[in-house]
Amino acid sequence: MTRKLAITVTFLTAVLAPALAMAAERPEFVVTSSSERAVFGFAMALAIGLAALGGGLGQGRAVAAALEGICRNPNSAGKVLVPMLLGLAFVESLVIFALIISFTVSGFIVPAIG
């Protein structure tokens, strides 16, 4: 009972917390200073850079482990290939999420007009 309750609360928190954050009103034209734009730009670069680094390392390890398993048992190539490709797709989706987040952060970079 307590495990189901913990899972339910965790799921609801993970789903509803971003919805509450997105429901907050945001003025359309927020004037940002040059130092704030620099911080947002650095955050974008850092987010996509770390995601690409982690994704590349994770994919490299996954492929190396799969190829090692296939080398040890060549008959298992068909059984190893599909889970490896699925895992690679999951890792790559995290990198794409980081790219989307960096583009979202770029929405906060609005230069001062006039």
* Segment 10-29, tens digit of pLDDT: 888 877 777 666 666 666 65
pLDDT higher than threshold 50 for residue 114: no
Nearest to 103, CA basis, from 36, 27, 40, 52: 40
CA distances from 102 to 6, 40, 51, 105 (A): 32, 9, 11, 5
Q: Is the distance from CB of 59 to CB of 92 less than 8 angstroms?
A: yes
Which CATH entry fits the domain spanning 34-109: 1.20.20.10, 3.30.70.870, 3.40.47.10, 3.10.620.30?
1.20.20.10
**Sign of the dihedral through C-alpha 91, 96, 99, 100:** negative
Spell out the domain ranges in the chain: 34-109
For residue 18 the two structure tokens come to 């971003």
What pLDDT is attached to residue 27? 61
Task: Sort 62 into a burial class: Cβ within 10 Å, 0-12 / 13-18 / 19+.
Answer: middle
Which pLDDT does position 45 carry in this prediction?
A: 82
At 25-84, the pLDDT tens digits run 666 656 667 777 777 778 788 888 888 888 889 899 999 999 999 899 989 888 888 889
